[in-house]
């Protein structure tokens, strides 16, 4: 006889299970309604808290990175508190405990896996508080010089004067020397030039000082430094150091060009020579020959070679 399947018992179990779930749903329905209302309420509170903090921060500081950081932290903190309260209302205490344990384990694993990201994030917060530069400042980091165009909690972006954007991880920025050329609003130009040994050094110094101080844009004139550095191979070398307002790098190059042109024109007008490199060959030093002796030897060698060639031709004819 064919074997009959008894499906009544399994079907009854399924129906009983569904009935129990339905009873639990009806029992939890008030709690679910309260949880839904709380969820909407916490979303609204999170938004309002974030906007309130943003307004307060705008009055206290213009640091965009810090403002975004704290507004985000407040927003998700309020949502997180609301989430755990809702789980408690729904009587999911065990789920809350398991969730917290899981968050701790996952957080530990992510901490090891994303050390560099975490380091950049923390470095971004420190840079936001310390503020060694602002957007638009001209800085130099790791031999890269340019204008800071934007920054966030992960990277700092510098636009070089050659037109490239360089993305520096905040960790590298924090751990490296930062040269800020904008923060003081001025910069020193250092020029080196040489004059002839036959020129009057006192007159040269006076002329160079007057020339530089006469250029528009030179500031802190009492801090101008003039010094003779060394006796060079063909000139006496001097340095001139002076300060200018520093709006940007093109302005710096423009002032440097003006100073070089002005010094050259002043030297030309006052018959002061900027020597070319000169090499003097001394053949009469100890152990060597004089130039006249070398010329005589070359002449004699040439004559002897011609005599030998003549004798060789004569023998060949014979």
Residues 6+ apart with CB under 8 A from 225: 239, 240, 241, 242
| Tens of pLDDT, residues 169-203 | 999 999 999 999 988 889 999 999 999 999 999 99
| Tens of pLDDT, residues 97-121 | 666 666 666 667 666 666 777 788 8
d(CA 206, CA 226): 10
d(CA 154, CA 115): 12
| Tens of pLDDT, residues 156-169 | 999 998 989 999 99
Here the tokens at position 32 are 């679910």
| Tens of pLDDT, residues 8-54 | 677 767 766 766 766 666 666 677 777 788 888 988 988 988 888 88
Predicted pLDDT at 310: 53
Predicted pLDDT at 2: 52
d(CA 273, CA 289): 34
pLDDT band at residue 288 under the 50/70/90 scheme = low
CB 178 within 8 A of CB 143: no
d(CA 246, CA 248): 6
Predicted pLDDT at 101: 67
Beta-bridge mates of residue 146: 139, 160
| Tens of pLDDT, residues 218-268 | 999 999 999 999 998 889 999 999 999 887 777 889 999 999 999 999 999
| pLDDT at position 1 over 50 | no
Domains and CATH numbers, the chain: 14-113 (1.10.287), 132-180 (2.30.30.60), 186-269 (3.30.70.100)
Which helix (H) or strand (E) segment is 138 a member of?
A: strand 138-141
Interior CA angle at 202 toward 201 and 203, to 5°? 90
d(CA 318, CA 309): 15
Residues 6+ apart with CB under 8 A from 68: 152, 153
């Amino acid at each position: 006889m064919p074997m009959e399947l008894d499906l009544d018992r399994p079907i009854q179990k399924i129906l009983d299970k569904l009935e129990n779930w339905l009873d639990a749903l009806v029992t939890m329905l008030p709690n679910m309604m309260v949880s839904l209302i709380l969820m909407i309420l916490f979303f609204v509170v999170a938004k309002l808290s974030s906007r309130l903090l943003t307004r307060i921060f705008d009055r206290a500081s213009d640091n965009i990175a810090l403002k975004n950081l704290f507004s985000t932290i407040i927003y998700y903190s309020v949502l997180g508190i609301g989430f755990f309260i809702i789980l408690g209302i729904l009587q999911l205490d065990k789920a809350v405990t398991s969730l917290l344990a899981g968050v701790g384990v996952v957080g530990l694993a992510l901490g090891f896996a994303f050390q560099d990201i975490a380091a950049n994030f923390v470095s971004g917060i420190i840079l936001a508080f310390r503020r060694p530069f602002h957007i638009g400042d001209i800085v130099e980091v790791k031999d890269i010089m340019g204008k800071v165009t934007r920054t966030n909690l992960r990277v700092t972006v510098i636009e070089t004067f050659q037109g490239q954007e360089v993305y520096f991880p905040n960790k590298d920025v924090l751990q490296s020397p930062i040269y800020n050329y904008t923060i003081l609003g001025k910069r020193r130009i250092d020029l080196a030039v040489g004059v002839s040994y036959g020129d009057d050094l006192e007159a040269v110094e006076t002329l160079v000082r007057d020339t530089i101080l006469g250029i528009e844009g030179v500031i802190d004139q009492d801090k101008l430094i003039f010094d003779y550095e060394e006796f060079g191979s063909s000139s006496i070398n001097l340095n001139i150091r002076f300060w200018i307002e520093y709006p940007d790098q093109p302005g710096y190059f423009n002032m440097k060009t003006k100073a070089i042109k002005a010094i050259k024109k002043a030297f030309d007008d006052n018959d002061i020579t900027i020597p070319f490199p000169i090499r003097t060959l001394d053949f009469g030093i100890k152990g060597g020959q004089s130039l006249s002796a070398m010329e005589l030897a070359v002449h004699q060698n040439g004559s002897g070679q011609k005599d030998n060639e003549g004798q060789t031709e004569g023998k060949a004819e014979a």
